[in-house]
Structure 1
Amino acid sequence: MKNNELKTKGELREESLFDKTVGRRSFLQYAGAGAAGIALVAAGCKKDRGYENPSMNGGATLDFKDDIGVLNYAYALEQLEAAFYIQVANSNTQFTGSNAAAKKAYFQDIQFHEIAHREFFKAALTTSAIGSLQVDFSSIDFTSEASVLSAAMAFEDLGVAAYNGAGSRLKNATYLLLAGKIVSVEARHAAYVRDLVSNGTFADLNSLTALGANNAGGLDAALTPDKVLAIAGKYVKTKINVINL
């Protein structure tokens, strides 16, 4: 698909998802994801119409020779995050404390951000998109607040580092702008989750030095795609092939 065509479709979807208010019910209809569809995506067994099933073609290939590869990389990460939050929202996690209801509401609501991000990349990439990844959350106890919060913090911190580390690879200014809009949302998620785990740590960069943060310079985490995928691989069954990195 030509870049100018991708840009046009991306801009159209950006307007519809980011510049307008989308209610929960309207968004689910817009994204084509009813309750049954969401459950299938979370389980990693939904085959997207018009996309190859990764389990049938030897995995997903991320080719970083151009912007398409970077967008597919972001799409892969958003698939993982969306699947996680969908599963939390549909699990009986035992949240505790006086703000237990707020915690539950956060996880129920945040899934729609991640679904929006996932569907945005899928629509923008069209036939250039990789297929649906199969996830593995067996290491996460979705009934445990501590386990869910720990996993959410890890996903959000990694997501921010991933966008920051891949931004320099984007050649198209429109794509870079979109990535900046999305990573700022991911950073809001990360800050909130960190504060739930340990009150007052929402801006703690010292704990993120392993992900490339620089506290003295006031710079957030940034990791190259190979390092991000190595960490995320724990939660992905689908083999991800990387070329031209």
Structure 2
Amino acid sequence: MKTTTQESFLAGQGMARRSFLRFAGASAVAAGLMTSISSCKKNDGTDFQPVDIGSGDLAVLNYAYALEQLEAAFYTQVISNPYNGISADERALLTEIRDHEVIHREFFKKALGSNAIPELTPNFSAINFSDRANVLGAAKTFEDLGVAAYNGVGYMIQTVDYLVLAGKIVSVEARHAALIRNLLGLNFADSTILDMNTGLEKSQTPAQVIPQANAFLQGFKISAPGLGA
């Protein structure tokens, strides 16, 4: 799939890329958000820098941007260092996912402009990139977390255009999640991600998601008091 096709898909009907960027720019001026970074120490003595993503719609966009950075970095490494025995079909599918995540990341980065949080540094030392089960297991974690994160923050979005965008992206992330589960031979919609009584996807709040995401980051870590995390 070509990048131009993916970008057109992301923009979607009624939500042209230039329109979204215009709305984002207007909100940035209105909110006057300044990303604050201050040195800190964890209890174990390890240095890190918490990044406060602010509040309101821009905080939600930065929250999504952080998650997309993490996913894009993961799949980029998967394709750069494919696991042992990877098939041509699996490589092609994972390459498409990588391309989607990179487009998502760059989309948020451009939309946020000077209000974007810094580029994050991933720490994937716990993942064995040479082992198929380990890589696909990590991919499942990232995709399920991404879907739960978008669903859990949707109600906080005030700008309709942002809500439309989030709905389009979470739909793509859900397709990724189903594909990864299929590669693992798992049920695409089991009780770990769905409420089996309602048939609805389970969601996670920023307070639940951010510690999980931060576990895969070094240097800058995400802080979101404006989103209750």
| Common topology (TM > 0.5) | yes
- Superposed CA RMSD: 2.5
Distance 1:94 1:224, change over 3 A: same
The match for 2:192 is 207
In structure 2, the residue corresponding to 1:58 is in which secondary structure? strand
Q: Is the 8 A contact 1:79 1:118 kept in 2?
A: yes
State how far apart, in whole Å, the 1-side matches of 2:98 and 2:142 are: 13
Distance 1:101 1:75, change over 3 A: same
Which runs of no fewer than 5 residues in structure 2 stay unpaired? 1-6, 14-34, 40-47
The match for 1:222 is 203
Q: Is the 8 A contact 1:95 1:103 kept in 2?
A: no
The match for 1:58 is 49
The match for 1:95 is 85
1:181 lines up with 2:168 in the alignment: yes
| CA offsets 1:96-154 (integer angstroms, 9 cap, x no match) | 5xxx2211111122111000000010111111110101110000011110010000000
**Which residues in structure 2 correspond to 1:138-217 (within 5 Å)?**
138-199=125-186, 201-204=187-190, 206-208=191-193, 213-217=194-198
The match for 1:119 is 106
State how far apart, in whole Å, the 1-side matches of 2:61 and 2:201 are: 21
State how far apart, in whole Å, the 1-side matches of 2:182 and 2:8 are: 31
| CA offsets 1:16-43 (integer angstroms, 9 cap, x no match) | 95359xxxxxxxxxxxxxxxxxxxxxxx
In structure 2, the residue corresponding to 1:159 is in which secondary structure? helix
1:243 lines up with 2:225 in the alignment: yes
1:129 maps to a residue whose letter is A
1:152 maps to a residue whose letter is A
State how far apart, in whole Å, the 2-side matches of 1:120 and 1:231 are: 23
| CA offsets 1:60-105 (integer angstroms, 9 cap, x no match) | 21223x1000000000000000000000010031135xxx221111
Q: Is the 8 A contact 1:61 1:243 kept in 2?
A: yes
Q: TM-score, normalised by structure 2?
A: 0.77
1:80 lines up with 2:70 in the alignment: yes
The match for 2:59 is 69
Distance 1:95 1:167, change over 3 A: farther
In structure 1, the residue corresponding to 2:52 is in which secondary structure? strand
Which runs of no fewer than 5 residues in structure 1 stay unpaired? 1-13, 21-51
